[in-house]
Structure 1
Amino acid sequence: MAEYGFYHLTRTPLDRALPRLLGRVLEAGGRAMVLLGSRERMEALDAALWTATDPDWLPHGTPLIGHAPLQPIWLTTEDAPEEGAPNAARFLFLLDGMTSARLDRFERVLDLFDGGDEAAVQAARTRWRQAKAAGHALTYWQQGARGWEKAG
């Protein structure tokens, strides 16, 4: 079972919080797959990651550009196939309320949601209940004055 973390964005927007989390994955020698809700969101995030400044280098690709096995970060709108992430990622980032039928293919799942959007918060609560019922080890993180704070 994957370690499943919920990341409640309350202080910074996704486009600033996500690069830092992805940078931590890369610093640890990991690879990440980022599952997004639409092609437009994927293209916008692709552009944002190329111009991110913290960290200032986040090598990545998408099904539109890039060969997945060579990419440490893979942005996609498609769930991982049966055999796992196309780039052999062990970290899965879920954005836009996305879910995956392949959570067992990842060591860690990070589900990021906007605390300023009540519908997103309610949807995250539903995903929490589903992940708990499936037997995943759950953690809840909220942005605090000093960064991410583990709650509960």
Structure 2
Amino acid sequence: MTDVLFYHLDRQPLDRVLPKLLQLTLERGWRAVVQAGSAERLEALDTLLWTFEDESFLPHGTAADGHEAEQPVFLATDDVNPNRATVRFLVDRAAPPADAAGYDRLVLLFDGNDPDALADARTHWKTLKAAGHAVTYWQQNEQGRWVKKA
């Protein structure tokens, strides 16, 4: 059974939330794959992870960089796992992988202001829950803390 976390982004954009979640992932010694919905988003994330903080960066790579198996965070637009990640982040309406059970954790981040993204998240919730995965829903409160809502 895979833990599936749905993060409803309505107070902060993906560019502020994803780097922090990836930092926590790496601090725990886990590897991650981030699957974006488009090549344009992948390129933007690649730049973001190098520059999101003045004092640090998140070590990561893409297929274009090579050395896929060595990357702590691998960015992709398709359903690959070359770095043997145990955590998969899905952004920009990327669909969960067919082998969801092959991960310890899936993290779906969706834009709460986009009706299509909300509809996709609801569909993925139903499908993953029916498959027996442990699904949880997280939303930020007014103080910016993530609160488990379901």
Q: Does 1:41 align with 2:38?
A: no
Alignment correspondent of 1:130: 127
Q: Does 1:113 align with 2:128?
A: no
Distance 2:54 2:108 in 1: 20
Match for 1:150: what amino acid? K
Contact 2:11 2:144 survives alignment (8 Å): no
Alignment correspondent of 1:32: 32
Alignment correspondent of 1:78: 78
Distance 1:55 1:103 in 2: 35
Q: Which runs of 5+ in 2 are unaligned?
A: none
Distance 2:62 2:9 in 1: 25
With over 3 angstroms needed to count, the CA separation of the structure-2 counterparts of 1:7 and 1:95, relative to structure 1, is: same
How far the C-alpha of 1:57 sits from its partner, in A, is: 2.1
Distance 2:54 2:122 in 1: 29
TM-score (norm. length: structure 1): 0.92
Match for 1:86: what amino acid? P
SS at match of 2:148: strand
Deviations for 1:24-61, whole angstroms, at most 9, x for unmatched residues? 00111111001111111111110111101188220000
SS at match of 2:16: helix
Of stretches 16-25 and 127-136 in structure 1, the one that deviates more from structure 2 is 127-136
Distance 2:38 2:7 in 1: 20
SS at match of 1:64: helix
Cα RMSD of the aligned pairs, angstroms, is 1.4
TM-score (norm. length: structure 2): 0.93
With over 3 angstroms needed to count, the CA separation of the structure-2 counterparts of 1:7 and 1:55, relative to structure 1, is: farther
Contact 1:19 1:55 survives alignment (8 Å): no
Match for 2:36: what amino acid? L
Q: Does 1:149 align with 2:147?
A: yes
Match for 2:71: what amino acid? Q
Contact 1:25 1:32 survives alignment (8 Å): yes
Q: Which runs of 5+ in 1 are unaligned?
A: none
Q: Does 1:89 align with 2:85?
A: yes
Match for 2:92: what amino acid? D
Distance 1:36 1:48 in 2: 13
Deviations for 1:120-149, whole angstroms, at most 9, x for unmatched residues? 111111110111111111111111224211
Alignment correspondent of 1:58: 58
Distance 1:98 1:13 in 2: 16
Count of paired positions: 148
Contact 1:2 1:106 survives alignment (8 Å): yes
Of stretches 98-107 and 12-21 in structure 1, the one that deviates more from structure 2 is 98-107
